Structure 1
């Protein structure tokens, strides 16, 4: 099949809509329901982008198996030019959604790239992983994933939960595959995905008693017994009053598995608690960190443009504290950009010659972005202040008897009331609305608990050889005897 168009994506999603619940309502076709259709259309637009004539050279490449053009998100990089091609692909999609859709399909595409490149880790299932990667690549599938366990009782391990299938685990093995039961969180973009990739992500190390929960697999999202329970949607509103929430609500959902069959060819880890404890060896963060840093770059650039234009519109850009605040945002932009380039420049090949971006600068951004983004959202609130609330409630106010009041009192220095409202509704969506609050929560926690993430990546796994060499160079350059000689008037 090769790289899909937006039309092909929507048609397949309509035919294979997963079981999606919003409150007590079951959504039978996510491409048509007002709460989910807008984001589906935005994702379809991304699929169309990869076919644009002026970007095809870096958005697509020939499939090694079929020769058809496939998405660059699946390119196994062997040169620095390949890494640059991947970066350009990620950036085009991130820019198209202003960095506001954190789980566009190139995130899991990046993860599967690492899985394929590190397929040996999976032992007897290595060929299954390679085959699945090729299947997803050649059919240009959209994947979500669910890793974390439900927060029922985090003080207890998986096997000690109130119900043995609170966490997703194996009920039994059959001739056809595994029967699994339980829940996983949080399947962001689950309602829009063709398939779901599941594997355990936990700060707690697995034990033999937890073996049934030590599984990794992928199945179609419309598999019998699988359903998605969604949070409150932000989509379905009008585009003028909620220009971001009305389009880019990628939805978060709990994935519930009610005795779901996972065929053997889709089982990548089967009740192997020791392998799950070593799953970090895949080094998928090298590729997902590359993609997420690029997405964060787009998001920060978008917000910097919003802050710059908005303060110009109401002429607060002249004040030093406003300039300092915007300068803080642009600082984060340049640090993110530098880390992305450093990860590519310092990339190293694995034993098969596949280049892995250097994960250290990417970890640094991941461990900083979860602090930067809440600060950036706060900066929007500080520099715009009451202006964030100084807009009419709905667009229909411009077609009402109070239009004259709006035009007079809600204009800006050099902009009409309509122009001002249009821009500040964007700022409101990010800085004040529920949609904006969800984004702050997302950036804080999408990669895991920020504290333990920093402890693991910036301390336990950090290479201190260079810092320690500098210290040792200094300590070895003098001695106590040197100091005593100096005190006695000798020559040091």
Structure 2
């Protein structure tokens, strides 16, 4: 019970979990080089005494105990603002624990259909909060042939499903893909990937189980190698996080950990609830990244002596527009927050989905502006080892010179960050994540169509066209 230290977090991962990477079963991830960076990254969030963000990480629960703020259910605009601030300084290994915000936001809906499942949500939320655990968002199924429903697939396990029910619980089988930090957390919170029909009851399932539960296996992949030079890879060397291919091979789930077991009318609601918080997190990262792009473009242009060049200034203006649109959208979504019947505050749904769509739909174009300003050195810059070599280093320092006030190492670090963020390890991951995290563009389009006040827009259009509510044209008074 209570807050863990970074060391206690690391020790808690030695629990017999079944984890694979590059064809190897790794029995102790805390001692394996593949997990060194991701574990260190997540462990920082357990430093509650840190001078910079230690106090931000803590809050007082209703019992007066301290817990990580990732578990604080926002009840006011101020609470929501603190959560947004927290996520700006939190690793993705901790941020994914926001899955419990999604569950708590739909708890009232679940209670109307199955009060016991709603009680399970509350109990598991408190259990994870009070024990300072981390949980993964486990939502995306393999899906097989997308033209067919879950129960129509060649293999019925292509969506996670219930294969047995008994007095003690359920048994599930299937897999979930793209599960960020699955091997680094304590609990796997499984959510439906989409709405289910009445003939798909076995696929309407949600639950939380420990990562080391018998029958659970995680196959890992990351955008970054185990060891990277921080000079050459300033982003990837510090921020890599494995994506998990999570397999459930006839896994037993006790009833008190089940949130959904056949209640098809709730499957879509649970899936959508996760989308809101995941897209909010994505938008927070988008604001940070877009500001970085502006700064990097400005530095490159200054180093080249092109900061007053009209073409470069136009490109930077495009980057500024993108960054400001995202920043203002996040601010608007939080200032115009919505409140659930139970009092939970969350960002405006329409604003978040619109902003996430704008971010994802324009990301590749925005990177193009940065690449256009930067030039070919983004890809061809020599490595740090060549810079440190006396023979080759003198040529690098000679021919990368632009002006006496531009430090060569600073110039190289700027180019390395541009390459790493947009054209190499981290950048490749980010290109896909910007588009797919929180659902692809279609998911945001669906939510915008659902939440925008189309009736009001339609009525205003008719009025502007001179059509009365009865459908008859207005007669204009004679002059």
TM-score over 0.5 for the alignment? yes
Matched, 1:417 2:408: yes
Report Cα offsets for 1:119-171 as digits up to 9, x if no partner.
12222311100111111212222221221111532222222222222322122
Q: 1:390 touches 1:410 (CA, 8 Å); kept in 2? A: no
1:438-457 correspondence runs (5 A): 438-450=429-441, 452-457=442-447
Partner of 1:192: 184
Q: Secondary structure at the match of 1:154?
A: coil
Partner of 1:10: 10
How far apart, in 1, do the equivalents of 2:301 and 2:28 lie?
Answer: 42
> How much has 1:337 moved relative to structure 2?
2.0
> How much has 1:436 moved relative to structure 2?
0.8
Report Cα offsets for 1:267-286 as digits up to 9, x if no partner.
11012223214435x74444
How far apart, in 1, do the equivalents of 2:414 and 2:163 lie?
Answer: 53
How far apart, in 2, do the equivalents of 1:2 and 1:288 lie?
Answer: 26
> How much has 1:233 moved relative to structure 2?
4.4
How far apart, in 2, do the equivalents of 1:476 and 1:25 lie?
Answer: 71
How far apart, in 1, do the equivalents of 2:473 and 2:121 lie?
Answer: 59
Q: 2:332 touches 2:351 (CA, 8 Å); kept in 1? A: yes
1:22-421 correspondence runs (5 A): 22-48=21-47, 50-53=48-51, 55=53, 58-65=56-63, 67-93=64-90, 103-109=92-98, 111-122=99-110, 123-124=114-115, 125-202=117-194, 205-236=195-226, 237-279=228-270, 283-413=273-403, 414-421=405-412
Q: 2:191 touches 2:270 (CA, 8 Å); kept in 1? A: no
Q: 1:206 touches 1:273 (CA, 8 Å); kept in 2? A: yes
User: After alignment, is 178-187 or 471-480 more displaced?
Assistant: 471-480
Report Cα offsets for 1:205-242 as digits up to 9, x if no partner.
42333222210011111222211112354132222222
How far apart, in 1, do the equivalents of 2:105 and 2:155 lie?
Answer: 37
> How much has 1:477 moved relative to structure 2?
8.2
Partner of 1:97: none
Aligned residues: 470
Partner of 1:433: 424
Q: 2:279 touches 2:437 (CA, 8 Å); kept in 1? A: no
User: Unpaired segments of 5 or more residues in structure 2?
Assistant: none
Partner of 1:98: none
User: Unpaired segments of 5 or more residues in structure 1?
Assistant: 94-100
Q: Secondary structure at the match of 1:183?
A: strand
TM-score (ref. length: structure 1) = 0.88
How far apart, in 1, do the equivalents of 2:467 and 2:277 lie?
Answer: 41
**CA 417–344 in structure 1, closer or farther in 2 if over 3 Å, else same:** closer
Q: 1:18 touches 1:221 (CA, 8 Å); kept in 2? A: yes
> How much has 1:57 moved relative to structure 2?
5.0
Q: Secondary structure at the match of 1:323?
A: helix
Q: 2:102 touches 2:270 (CA, 8 Å); kept in 1? A: no
